Chain A
């Protein structure tokens, strides 16, 4: 393998590595040959170290950008709410009203129960995921290079898009899953919830037949239940990760001369335009599926 291909692999790998802060065990050999004497919390200097941190590892860039974007969102929304007027609304107020109304209509259409949490949650998920996804449109090298400049460390990993980290998307989807189970139990009672899991697709009404159907039902329903958060989180992650990877591959073309660079610029523009469609759709899908799952949790099924 030529050195060029080697360096391009390094480039991609560098872009796909999170800024990991975690615990390395005592006696661990760092990449530069140093041996750690006791358990230390430190930044990973290469992907292997990040891997060896295992469970005790925080992705500072994912957390930082996620929290920062959430704060910006809350700040803007709060400002608009404080200065809201019925007279002549400002541009930003009209925009926020547009978004709130859009979500309100959608939730009213899909969710027919009484719950004051669902609509605000849908609004938060939609706007937050949208903002996190929009970070994808910033050219892939700008913020990482800026981070290298600021930190002065040449191997400073920096992944800007939080939703390209499965920890972020699965974290959100597992929260949705827990809420789903919580509301399910609250609405139907523990017995109702267990009944839904054990007596659902196949049910005869005679106990001596049901005993043989319960294991089958349990397996089917459990698979269906667990598949929901997994597919919810992985769908968002997969889309954003694939998009990011293709942006990185296009960005590599800028290093191979003027003509390839111009072609790469055009490609980047085309992919960004396509991505402009994917970004809101994925945020929308995440939001609407959350609402649908909440509605399913509230449905007291009477059909068996």
Chain B
């Protein structure tokens, strides 16, 4: 029972993290293309800033994937015995 709850928690952790980041990356990339379409000469500068934001955005799901993997492979076997 407790083990199953750990798996569900890990699934929620990874899934919701992916969901939010998917929306975030979608709007990030969309806005970048829009801005480059308007001002192509700003492209390289915007690209650099986009990668900064991507790094910030990427941290959340990566942490949740890491914690999820930790729960699946270390916490759950420990509880299940």
Cross-interface CB contact of B66 among A13, A245, A282, cutoff 8 Å: A245
Supposing A278-B58, A284-B55 touch, asked if A242 and B80 sit within 8 A by C-beta, the answer is no
Which residues of the partner chain A approach B56 to less than 8 Å between Cβ atoms? 235, 285
Closest chain-B Cβ to A184's Cβ sits at a distance in Å of 23
The residues of A that contact B54 with a CB separation of less than 8 Å are 281
Interface string of A4-16 (1 = CB under 8 A from B): 0110110011001
How many Å from the CB of B60 to the closest CB on chain A? 9
Q: How far is the CA of A16 from the CA of B56 in the complex (A)?
A: 25
Secondary structure type dominating chain B contacts: helix
Q: Does A249 contact B (CB under 8 A)?
A: yes
Q: Does B8 have its Cβ within 8 Å of any Cβ on chain A?
A: no
Q: In the assembly, what is the distance between CA of A212 and CA of B19, in Å?
A: 41
Tell me, in angstroms, the Cα distance from A44 to B41 when the chains sit together.
58
Cβ–Cβ < 8 Å partners of A278 in chain B: 58, 62
Q: Within residues 243 to 296 of chain A, which ones have a CB less than 8 A from any CB in chain B?
A: 243, 245-246, 249, 278, 281-282, 284-285, 288
Contact A13 B63 (CB under 8 A): no
Question: Chain A's nearest CB lies how many Å from the CB of B16?
Answer: 16
* Cβ contacts under 8 Å, B58 to chain A: 239, 278, 281
Report how far A245 CA is from B66 CA in the complex, Å: 7
User: What 1/0 flags go to B55-81 for Cβ under 8 Å of A?
Assistant: 110110011011101100110011011
User: Given A249-B69, A285-B52, do A239 and B78 touch, yes or no (CB 8 Å)?
Assistant: no
- Judge whether B52 and A288 touch: CB under 8 Å: yes
Cβ of A157: which chain B residues have Cβ within 8 Å of it?
none
- Cβ-neighbour of A9 out of B51, B52, B65, B77 (below 8 A): B77
Q: Give the Cβ gap from A268 to chain B, nearest Cβ, in Å.
A: 15
Question: If A12-B74, A234-B63 touch, does A242 touch B51 (CB 8 Å cutoff)?
Answer: no
Q: Which of B51, B55, B63, B78 contacts A238 (CB 8 A)?
A: B63
In the complex, chain B residues whose CB is within 8 Å of the CB of A209: none
Least Cβ distance of A263 to chain B in Å?
18
Contact assessment for B63 and A246 in the assembled complex, using a CB-CB cutoff below 8 Å: no
CB distance from A106 to the nearest CB of B (A): 8
B47 to chain A, nearest CB (A): 12
Please determine whether B73 and A239 come into contact, CB atoms closer than 8 angstroms.
Answer: no
B-side residues, CB < 8 A to A, are: 51-52, 54-56, 58-59, 62-63, 65-67, 69-70, 73-74, 77-78, 80-81
Given A9-B74, A282-B55, output 8 extra A-B contacts at Cβ < 8 Å.
Answer: A1-B81, A235-B56, A238-B62, A243-B66, A245-B69, A246-B66, A278-B58, A285-B55
